[in-house]
Every structure is written in structure tokens, then in C-alpha cells.
Amino acid sequence: MAAHETYDRNEEVPVTSDRVFGLVFTTLFLIVGALPLRHQLPPRWWAFVLAGAFLVASVAIPGALQTLNRGWTRFSLLLQKITNPVVMGILFYALITPMALVMKILGKDPLSLGLNSKIESYWIERKSAEPLSETMRRQF
């Protein structure tokens, strides 16, 4: 039996431009460098130096950041392949499963999936095949 989802696909992921990559990391290192100032601590000068280097590279020679940009993209794809199933599993087992157990304990059946031997058919009759004319007066 085939699974619903194929895990062997390799979709083409759009890579951001090298200039945008450099400016994002410039901003990141500026924030990292300035964070200690909130607690009256000296700034992290190494982060300011890296921010300056990324700024110069992204403005003057963005092609120099191509290798870092591609590596960062590959790293993010690897993280996505690991964290996505973990997060979805946590959501399923922490939210959906307890709700289903509570509903089962309370005897709820929102989809009416229970067997009923007293009825001939599970077909639900539709009241009117045509829509009411009042619902179509002012569509737009």
C-alpha cells in the first residue's frame, strides 16, 4: 500500500539573493552585538565586526556570499526535514489524541460513524435540490 506522501521528492527550493542573505545576517549580527547593552553590559564587538563584514560583502561583492547562502539553505532544509515531523507528532499526540479520547469517553460521535442496525440506510435526505432564490439576489 502506498503512503499518502512521498518522502523521496526533491522539490526545487528558491534561494534568496546573496545580497538579501548578507543584509539579513548583517541585521542578525547587529542585534547579537547590541543585546548586552540592554543589561548595561559591554557590546559584543566580534558581532559588530561580523556585521560590518557582511554589510560590505553584501553591498560591494554579493557573489562572495554565494557559498554561505547555499550552505545556509541546505542547512535549513535539513532542519526542516527533522523538525517538521517532530512538531507535527507533538501536535498530534498532545492535542488531537487527548481530544479524541475525551470525546470517546463522553460518547461523542461528530461524524456519525457508529453502526445502527435499526435503520435501512445511512443516506441523509437533502431537503431541497435547488438553492433558495433569496440567497442569489445580491451576489456581488
Q: What is the pLDDT of residues 88-110, one digit of tens each?
A: 999 999 999 999 999 999 988 88
Long-range contacts of range 38-43, CB-CB < 8 Å, 24 or more positions apart? Answer: none
Q: Would you give the end-to-end CA distance of the chain in angstroms?
A: 47
With 0.75 as the threshold, say if the pTM is over it: no
Q: Which of 10, 11, 54, 9 is nearest to 29 (CA)?
A: 54
Q: What is the pLDDT of residues 23-70, one digit of tens each?
A: 999 999 999 999 999 999 999 999 999 999 999 999 999 999 999 999
User: Alpha carbon of 74 to those of 28, 67, 87, 110: distances in Å?
Assistant: 19, 11, 20, 43
CA distance 64 to 51: 15
Say how far residue 101 (Cα) sits from the centre of its chain.
27
**Does 118 or 94 have the greater pLDDT score?**
94
